[in-house]
Amino acid sequence: MKQLEAIPERPATPLGAQHRVAPRRRAAWRTALTSYSFILPIAVFGVFLLVYPVLYSLALSFRDATVETIVGGDMPFIGFSNYEQSLADPTFWQALQNTVVFTFCSILFQFTIGFLLAIFFQNRFPLKNVLIALLLIPWIIPVLTAANTFKGLFNEVGPINQIAHLLGLPTVPWLASPGFALAATIVANIWIGFPFNFILLYSGVCNIPPEVYEAARIDGAGYWRRVGHITLPILKPVTVAVLMLGTIYTVKVFDLVFIMTGGGPANTSHLLSTYAYQIGFSIYNYGEAAAIAIVIIAVILTLNLFQLFLKRR
């Protein structure tokens, strides 16, 4: 990026050299065309696969799109009815609340664990690279596998309860209790997501020049002081990027919860994504499902705007 920015701007056309303007303009045109042609594939890709579906969902969310109306193509425009219907459903509010709790707790722990691991790996010790590779495993494993594994771990007679039983602690049917099902999915999601935070923060940490720490040490700064006053501030751009990407990934989590609880028991662990799926593909109300999908996009945008605001401060 830096190199691109470093290219000096073209010198302005000297006055009185009017006869050379036309070919010069054409040359500029050609350069621009060449540049744009490079981004053409991604632009086409973006318009067809990203912009169009989002706009289509938006349009769908204002229409009465059910099995009966979708075939004739005459889905009538019904204004905000789909949104009103969603907002009137207590399950929607539960799902929205769950999505916020799920995202906040996941990001908080994923980031904290990732950060602590990153500063731990600043030290040199044997087998460091092997350990880093091992730590990435949760991120590499397909979510399907991870979700089913956690489903087994949190089983009423699964390993977690067996250990609790051995330690004399009370056992809980984790995924079968309305109060614990969401917590269990959060634990699983933290496990899946922390390596992503770790590896990005670690690469940021590696770029901090050791001299800065040395200078601070000479000035008498202790370890946590150095972390708080050197590592964290220098990592700020990385942190914002990690939190933003993490938020996007987490708000749209679907597969993990769908496999572990299916939104149950009694709709208590629905995220907006699984709730939208239930409305769309279990009772076939495509319009309302689209409305919920739009709400998900709105939630992601709001959270990211908030983070951008934090970044600017």
Partner 1 sequence: MPLKLASRTFPLWRSILICSSIIVCLGAARAETTVEIVHYFNVPGQLEGLANIQKDFEAANPDIKIKLTYIPFADLVKTTLQMAQVHKPPGISCIDNPDVRFIAKAGVLKDISADVAKLPTWSDTYPGPKHSVTEGTKVYGVPIGSNSLAIFSNKKMLSDAGVTDPPKTWDELTADAAKLTKSPVYGLVFSATNTEESTWQWEPFLWSNGGSLLDLTAAPAKQALQLWVDLIQKGSVSKDCVNWNQGDVANQFISGQAAMMVMGPWMLGQVHKSGLDFEVTPIPVPKEGEKPVVPLGGEVWCVMKGDPKVEAAAVKFIEFVQDADRLEKLCDTFNYISSVRSVAKKQGEANPELQPFVLQMDTARARPEEGGANYTKVSLAARTAIQQAITGQATVDAALAEAAAKIKPLAAKK
Please report, as ranges, the residues that interact with partner 1 according to CB under 8 A: 67-73, 151, 155-157, 173, 175-178, 260-268, 278, 281-284
In the bound complex, what is the minimum distance in angstroms from residue 283's beta carbon to partner 1?
A: 5
Shortest reach from residue 287's CB to partner 1, in Å: 14
Encoding tokens for residue 109?
A: 């722990």
Please state, in angstroms and rounded to a whole number, the distance separating the CA atoms of residues 31 and 270: 52
Which residues fall within 8 angstroms of residue 114, CB to CB, at 6 or more apart? 194, 195, 196, 197, 198, 199, 200, 201, 242
Helices (H), 19-127: 21-46, 52-60, 67-70, 81-87, 90-120
Q: Is 79 exposed, middle or buried (0-12, 13-18, 19+ CB in 10 A)?
A: exposed
- Min. distance of Cβ 270 from partner 1 in angstroms? 9
**Judged by CB, which is closer to partner 1: 172, or 230?**
172
Q: Could you please report the per-residue DSSP string of 70-98?
A: HTTT---B-TTHHHHHHHT-HHHHHHHHH
What φ, ψ does residue 77 adopt, rounded to 5°? -75, 130
Q: Which is nearer to partner 1, 159 or 237 (CB)?
A: 159
What the block records as the tokens of 52 is: 């169009």
Q: Which two tokens stand for residue 223?
A: 């370890």
Q: Which is nearer to partner 1, 195 or 263 (CB)?
A: 263
Hey, how many other C-beta atoms are within 10 angstroms of the C-beta on 287? 26
Is 65 or 296 the residue whose CB approaches partner 1 more closely?
65
Q: How near is the Cβ of 46 to partner 1 at its closest, in Å?
A: 23
Q: Which is nearer to partner 1, 117 or 279 (CB)?
A: 279
Indicate the residue among 113 and 172 with the shorter CB distance to partner 1.
Answer: 172
Q: What distance in Å separates the CA atoms of residue 246 and residue 110, rounded to the nearest whole number?
A: 9
Structure tokens at 58: 């938006």
Q: Are the C-beta atoms of 190 and 114 separated by less than 8 Å?
A: no
* Beta bridge partners of residue 66, listed in sequence order: 285
- Residue 293 Cβ vs partner 1, minimum distance, rounded to whole Å: 15
Our CB check for partner 1 shows the closer of 68 and 214 to be 68
**Token duo for residue 303:** 């959270």
Q: How far is the CB of 149 from partner 1 (least distance, A)?
A: 14
User: Closest approach of Cβ 281 to partner 1, in Å?
Assistant: 5
Which of 112, 282 has the CB closer to partner 1? 282
Residues 109 and 185: beta-carbon distance below 8 Å? no
**Single-letter amino acid code for the residue at 288:** E
Q: How far is the CB of 101 from partner 1 (least distance, A)?
A: 18
